[in-house]
Structure 1
Amino acid sequence: MANENCEILFDYLRSILYDSTPTQIDVHSLDEDFQKLGMGLQFLDHAINELKQCSTALAKGNLSEFNPSRDNFLCDNLKNIHANLEHLTWQAKQVAKGDYSQHVSYMGDFSNSFNQMTEQLKEREEHLKSEAELEKKHAETVNKYNQLLLELIRQSNDDVLITNIDQSTILYSSHNKVRVEQENEILYYFYKNINNPCEWNMKDKDNRYYHIVTINMEWQDKPSFAHFIHDITQEKKEWDRLHQQAHIDALTQVGNRYYFQDEMQQFLNCKTTATLCYCDLDHLKYVNDNYGHDKGDTYICDFVEILKSNIREDDIIARLGGDEFCILFINGSIDSINQKMEFINEEFSKQVVDYPQSFSYGTIYINGNEDTSLLNILQIADQRMYALKRKRKMTT
């Protein structure tokens, strides 16, 4: 019987130690001498089960589920760990609130890591506070400069438009001189044709001219375009007037030598074909000497008028000086141009005046595919003009 009791108790102890759910025994089925030992094993079973539950709760961090019995000596060390973790939790909450005076000295290697983390958080917060203070001062300075800039803009004759970088939404407008309709027209032109920071010019539907400088910037923490708008209408009119004076012959109101050189250079750069006619008025010195310079001026103007009435609007007339003229015929063969010039000369000579009227000319076909200079073109046309002049003198 003793062996049977021992065998039951031993199996029970092994089940307590190794089984997740120990097999229970009926203590009263044991002999009286073994019942007390059986009850002791039941107490051990309860204590170990409680130890497992408490250690599981600690392992998962569920501190509120740690509830061992006061007389369970197996949980004494776990109770210490639980108390330390609860205190550490409280300390962590204090650190989260900004109390970096918390110090841990009761958890070995973990204490060093915790204390080092706390010190680093303290240093980082101090750094962030310093950065925030600098940022605040910077924002205050920027705001002062912005207020100053806006006041300067309000006092100036220029306008400023600030728009979203992704769409033409107006974020700010000074409304000094430019109206809302003009703003919308300017922005439509910008987003359709430019859409990049640069200096640019445009003319609106009211024939006003603007010089605009567009830059990238941040406006209220958003990437934006700032458009600085200067109305240059008066400057443009003055420039056009001066350009007109510099490029128009005062007597005949056709282009002068500078106008001709600019137009010809643009034409040559385009590599297109045309025919150039170089003209020289005959008898101008004779008219000036015998009838006066007023008649000489009339002679020159009559020549220009008959040219205008016999050429197309696209063709270019220029007075190079004195009695020298050039006509650039954009279309037409050199033979047809020679016929036209001969016809004009005949009509010119038929006009009833007190003095003879005629002109000599030389033509040259300009092939856009050939590299040539304006000087070379004029030299050839001039030579052909003098050849025609000599031929006429020989036949008269």
Structure 2
Amino acid sequence: MDSIADVLQDYLNNVIYDPEHAVLDLQKLPEEFQEFGKNLVLFSDCVMEMGALAKAISKGNLGVELPSPINEMAAPLKALHASLKHLTWQTQQVAKGDYQQRVDFMGDFSEAFNEMVEQLEQRRLNLLTDICTEREKLKEFQNIANIDTLTQLNNRRYGMEVMEKWLLEGRSFVLCFVDIDNLKFVNDWYGHAEGDKYITCISDEMSELTPEAVICRIGGDEFMLLSEDWNSEVAKEKLEILRKRLINCNCVYERSISYGVIKVGADNTLNVSDILSAADEKMYEYKRAYKLRQKRKP
């Protein structure tokens, strides 16, 4: 028959090396050893609970069942488990973009974690700065691509894009083709600096008179206006007002414009080039009629 020491030794060996088979039959112990046996079983259960928790933590399994409240020996491991669960939550918050998370309960690891989060926040800020800078550059490039440098109006490229878009969407709009009268004469006799003033004078007047329109400088002395809010008569009235303003301004040479107006309906079948050609022809009709009126004046 095994001695009491052998029974207890076998039990402890199983607790350490084969917990699943660690069983101590208290009935086989003498009465005077049974209380000791109960306490030994309790101690062994606490050790095995700690081992199971430590093993789970080592594998990253934080959903493991915790040791019973009476297991005071497992308190440090349970505290570690709670810290790791909270740290997991904090890490998830950082992953969602909350860079205000800080750890102050895990010694050296806290310093490393906090430094990592600070670096992530700084990189995020740097990235946002880079994105804003790139957006500003893109906006500048778009302005360069779409803006006429002399008048600061939209250029031909932008105007063609708007027309193509409106035609594709089946919109109804009015197109006005405006030509500066006598610009070559002004350039030849008064210089190109004065010619530029003539151009900017007309562009400024046009912008003031027709702010609701898309105004584009599409050539040296040519402008295009696009509006969904006008009909042909309204467009002609506005351009006549502009023309009279120019004629009546105090200048050593006559300032004026000629124009052609085209109404583009939702059922339009013409392409951009055809519409521009039609408006250009209307403009030349106006110019010829104006010259004829001038000749007939007494």
| TM-score normalised over the length of structure 1 | 0.43
Query: Is the alpha carbon distance of 1:373 and 1:174 closer, same or farther for their aligned partners in structure 2, counting shifts above 3 Å?
Result: same
CA distance in 2, matches of 1:353, 1:247: 31
Residue 289 of structure 1 corresponds to: 188
CA distance in 2, matches of 1:302, 1:283: 14
Runs (5+) with no aligned partner, structure 2: 1-19, 21-58, 60-89, 101-123
Query: Is the alpha carbon distance of 1:335 and 1:232 closer, same or farther for their aligned partners in structure 2, counting shifts above 3 Å?
Result: same
CA distance in 2, matches of 1:170, 1:377: 62
Query: Is the alpha carbon distance of 1:388 and 1:210 closer, same or farther for their aligned partners in structure 2, counting shifts above 3 Å?
Result: farther
- Picking from 378, 382, 391, the partner of 2:276 is 378
Greater share of strand residues, 1 or 2?
Answer: 1
- Picking from 146, 153, 156, the partner of 1:254 is 153
Structure 2 residue identity aligned to 1:359: I
Residue 26 of structure 1 corresponds to: none
CA distance in 2, matches of 1:381, 1:253: 23
CA distance in 1, matches of 2:126, 2:177: 40
Q: Is the 8 A contact 1:273 1:366 kept in 2?
A: yes
SS in structure 1 of the partner of residue 153 of structure 2: coil
Structure 1 residue identity aligned to 2:209: N
RMSD, aligned α-carbons: 3.0
- Picking from 231, 238, 242, the partner of 1:333 is 231
CA-to-partner distance for each residue in 1:77-116, whole Å, 9 max, x for gaps?
Answer: xxxxxxxxxxxxxxxxxxxx9xxxxxxxxxxxxxxxxxxx
Q: CA deviation at 1:173?
A: 3.2
Runs (5+) with no aligned partner, structure 1: 1-96, 98-138, 140-168, 182-207, 212-228
Residue pairs, 1:63-142, within 5 angstroms: none
CA distance in 1, matches of 2:214, 2:191: 29
CA-to-partner distance for each residue in 1:156-194, whole Å, 9 max, x for gaps?
Answer: xxxxxxxxxxxxx9935369xx7669xxxxxxxxxxxxx
Query: Is the alpha carbon distance of 1:384 and 1:232 closer, same or farther for their aligned partners in structure 2, counting shifts above 3 Å?
Result: same
Task: Work out whether 1:310 is the aligned partner of 2:231.
Answer: no
Structure 2 residue identity aligned to 1:264: M
Structure 2 residue identity aligned to 1:282: D
Q: Is the 8 A contact 1:209 1:232 kept in 2?
A: no
CA distance in 2, matches of 1:242, 1:209: 24
Structure 2 residue identity aligned to 1:382: D
SS in structure 1 of the partner of residue 92 of structure 2: strand
Q: CA deviation at 1:339?
A: 1.5
Greater share of helix residues, 1 or 2?
Answer: 2
Residue 177 of structure 2 corresponds to: 278
CA distance in 1, matches of 2:200, 2:125: 35
CA distance in 2, matches of 1:334, 1:325: 17
Q: Is the 8 A contact 1:362 1:381 kept in 2?
A: yes
SS in structure 2 of the partner of residue 362 of structure 1: strand
Residue 84 of structure 2 corresponds to: none
Query: Is the alpha carbon distance of 1:352 and 1:375 closer, same or farther for their aligned partners in structure 2, counting shifts above 3 Å?
Result: same
SS in structure 2 of the partner of residue 341 of structure 1: helix
Q: CA deviation at 1:309?
A: 1.3
4+ long deviations beyond 6 Å: 208-211
Structure number with higher relative contact order (C-alpha < 8 Å, ≥ 6 residues apart): 2
Q: Is the 8 A contact 1:210 1:233 kept in 2?
A: no
Task: Work out whether 1:389 is the aligned partner of 2:296.
Answer: no
Residue 360 of structure 1 corresponds to: 258
CA distance in 2, matches of 1:239, 1:209: 20
CA distance in 2, matches of 1:392, 1:357: 14
- Picking from 152, 166, 173, the partner of 2:94 is 173
CA distance in 2, matches of 1:337, 1:235: 40
Residue 224 of structure 1 corresponds to: none
Query: Is the alpha carbon distance of 1:231 and 1:377 closer, same or farther for their aligned partners in structure 2, counting shifts above 3 Å?
Result: same
Residue 321 of structure 1 corresponds to: 219
Percent same amino acid among aligned pairs?
Answer: 30
SS in structure 1 of the partner of residue 218 of structure 2: strand
Structure 1 residue identity aligned to 2:228: I
CA-to-partner distance for each residue in 1:250-307, whole Å, 9 max, x for gaps?
Answer: 0000011111111222222221111000011001000011111111000000001111
